[in-house]
Amino acid sequence: MKQRTCINIFIVIVILAIAVSLLVHFIHHSTKHEVSPIDTLNTKTTGTVTISNDNNVQTSTSNQSVFSNMNTSLNIGRSDFGSILLPNGHVLIAGGHFNSSTVSSGTEVYTSTGWQFAAPMKVPRGYHTVTAFANNTKVLAAGSSATSGQQTAEVYNAVNNTWALTSINMLSPHIRHTATLLANGQILIAGGYNISGGVNASNYLISTAELYINDSWTLLSTRMTHSRAFHAAVLLNDGTVLVAGGGDGTPGAYPTAEIYNATSEKFTAVGSMQYRRAAFTLTLLPSGKVLAIGGADWSSGTYPLVCELYDPVTRTWSNNAMLNYGRSYHQSVLTSSFVLTMGGTNGNNNRLNSSEKYNL
């Protein structure tokens, strides 16, 4: 009887020891994984990041991301800049804002060894565009948030690393517009603001477009279906141009999209995105589909982590990969094996120097 009692006591002690051990482990695990508002920016989520006035960040449930962080960063954190893939495989970024008041003429080039400074532009530029010519040895930078440069443009020579102003300015000022190289060698400048203004500058929002070729400008007789700024555009494989999103000047952001036909010189509406996006990027993938990355919906204060794919066959959008960081005013460039997304701002007026990639 005494032996059985001892065995029962021993079993109870063992059970109590296991319970205490599990409780200690649970408390330690919970403390170790407590997430602060700043840590939340590093989580991978299926929805959006909301930045409130007190800098608290709310995210949705976790999900695995296709994007991965890179070990190299820009020499200077910046937003609202231009970027382009050069013939040698390097990535050029130009201009942008270092803070809310400083517009830069500086440039950097990304190589296999990281980011290096390059020749500065002639004019400080932010909210401008950077577009490669058909021969891919020269680059056109057009527009600027700086008052003195809103109607100017300049050309970068990738061979000798120099910049030169064009002999003729654009027909009207353009900032926060898009510039797209067409199949015929022309560059389409579309929308934006015709004077420096913020997200509430609806009076300055334009739907006009003009073409650049051989150092001359031509105004299109047709307009976009919506007046847009902070939108994105990309040339599709069939020679048309996809234009999507952007600010509506209220402030708010469009989910709408349209197609520009270079032959008819007309814009036609297509399916809308799942998310409202402004200050985001569109990248044509080898599959012929288009990847929409990042951006912001100012009306709700959200920064979509969800990226979307546009199918040119069905003219519809579907949800795709997840960003690690909510970002807008960033840039994305297609390389031979991945899409490089870099810089931008996360809504707290912080300029990001981080980069992440979407593997093909």
CA dist., res. 231 & res. 359, Å (int): 24
- What pLDDT is recorded for position 66? 64
CA dist., res. 120 & res. 57, Å (int): 37
% of residues, the chain, pLDDT over 70: 79
The stretch 199-220 carries a mean pLDDT of: 86
The stretch 59-84 carries a mean pLDDT of: 72
The stretch 136-164 carries a mean pLDDT of: 88
Q: Which of 14-18, 49-53, 195-199, 317-321 has the lowest mean pLDDT?
A: 49-53
- Tell whether the model's pLDDT for residue 140 goes beyond 80: yes
Q: What is the mean pLDDT of the chain?
A: 81
- What pLDDT is recorded for position 54? 28
The stretch 330-349 carries a mean pLDDT of: 89
- What pLDDT is recorded for position 249? 82
CA dist., res. 35 & res. 27, Å (int): 15
Residue labelled with tokens 């007309």: 266
Residue labelled with tokens 């976009």: 224
Contact assessment for residue 317 and residue 271, using Cβ atoms and an 8 Å cutoff: yes
The stretch 324-333 carries a mean pLDDT of: 91
Q: Tell me the pLDDT tens digit for each residue of 160-182.
A: 999 999 999 999 888 899 999 99
Q: Which of 347, 353, 349, 358 is nearest to 40 (CA)?
A: 347
- Tell whether the model's pLDDT for residue 306 goes beyond 60: yes
- Tell whether the model's pLDDT for residue 72 goes beyond 90: no
- What pLDDT is recorded for position 221? 92
Please indicate, yes or no, whether the overall pTM of this predicted structure exceeds 0.85. no
- Tell whether the model's pLDDT for residue 208 goes beyond 70: yes
- Tell whether the model's pLDDT for residue 98 goes beyond 60: yes
Q: How far is CA 170 from CA 66, 213, 251, 264, in A?
A: 40, 11, 27, 22
Q: Residue 331 — very low, low, confident or very high, per pLDDT cuts 50/70/90? A: confident
Q: Residue 2 — very low, low, confident or very high, per pLDDT cuts 50/70/90? A: very low
Contact assessment for residue 306 and residue 300, using Cβ atoms and an 8 Å cutoff: no
- What pLDDT is recorded for position 33? 29
- What pLDDT is recorded for position 350? 80
Q: Tell me the pLDDT tens digit for each residue of 240-286.
A: 999 999 998 888 899 999 999 999 999 999 999 999 999 999 999 99
* 302 three-class SS: strand
